[in-house]
Each structure stands twice: as structure tokens, then as C-alpha cells.
Amino acid sequence: MKVFIGLGNPGKQYAETRHNAGFMVIDELSRRLSIPLDRSKFNGIYGMGMAGGTKVLLVKPLTYMNLSGECVRPLMDFYEVPDEDMAVIYDDLDLPAGKIRLRTKGSAGGHNGIKSMIQHFGTQEFNRVRIGIDRPPSGMKVPDYVLGTFSKEEQPLIKGAVIRSAEACEEWLGKPFLQVMNDYNQVKEV
């Protein structure tokens, strides 16, 4: 089984915010793979189905960003999925808007959702799909920026990043994560 965790915040007021890029990818995967997010347990919503001969679990924690690990750890334990079969998808301030970067490990880099994941998994080594949202303009506080919506100029960049992230996730169903990471990290962004 492959598990895709999209980080974000629940509620309509957060639906189109920068911090919900992970949720956007899960919604795209749900559409592409015809796996509805129709289950609710472990403080999250999720869907389960088959894609490319592989069982797939799509997850959106509903714990709010800072407590994401509280949803994911019990879910992974319940389904007895090894950590290496999980990919966490989230927004990243350190990448330009619309750029994606796959990694197999790393620090939280100030991202509270990833801090929670590291705390609950006891390791920094898990697959990640990072979606660039860029840094806030000078004088703007990070929380205000990440909880704000994408500008008109950013919207096509983010839409493209969501699609490429979903494509990378789909490729992981049939290839090792390192191979997908190498392929996608070398691709020139549009």
C-alpha cells in the first residue's frame, strides 16, 4: 500500500490558501485515481482504492497543520504501513511559487506540519513532495502569508505544481521513490 498525506487546514476559510497546497494535491489525486475521500477516522478524512495494481490511501488530516502527526501515525499503525511507503505533500516557503521538489529526508525547515510528523514518527526520513509557495513580501508575517490566498499571478503556477505533484505521486506507484525524485527534481519548471 502507498499512502499519500496532504497537509493543510480543514474548513472553507482555508481551502484556497497557500498552506493547503497538500490538500489540493490530494484532491487532484482523488479525481485522477477515482478514489473518493469518503472515510473519516483518526482525525482525518481519507479514501482507499486501487491504482496501477497498488492499493492507495489518500489522506487529509483534519487536526490542523500543527498536529498533523496526530492523525497520520495512528492511521499508518492501523493499516500496518511501513514509513517508507508514505509520501507527505506540503507547501514550502523556501521554493519559488510553483516549483516542486521531492526529498526522502530533511528537517522541518520551520514547517509546523512537518515538525509534527517528525515528532510522531521519530525520524526525519520520510518521502516528501514539497510545493513552492515562495517567501512573503517584506514586512508581512509568515502566518498571514501562508494563510492567505494565491495571487492572480501565482494561481497558474500553483495549478501546474499541483498537477506535476500528482503526476509524481502516480509515478511512484510503479517506480522507486528515488527514481521519481531524480526525474522530477531535474525537470525544468514552466
Q: Mark 40-68 as b/e (b = at least 16 C-beta within 10 Å).
A: eebbbbbbbeebeeeebbbbbbbbbbebb
Q: Which of 2, 18, 19, 164 is catalytic?
A: 19
Distance of alpha carbon 177 from alpha carbon 87, whole angstroms: 9
Bridge-based pairing of strands 44-51 and 39-41 is antiparallel
**Active site (annotated) includes residue 120:** no
Asked whether 16 and 35 are in contact (CB, 8 A), the reply is: no
Q: Which three cell numbers stand for residue 30?
A: 482523488
Q: Tell me the chain's radius of gyration from C-alpha atoms.
A: 15
Nearest to 3 by CA among 57, 79, 42: 57
Catalytic residue ranges: 19
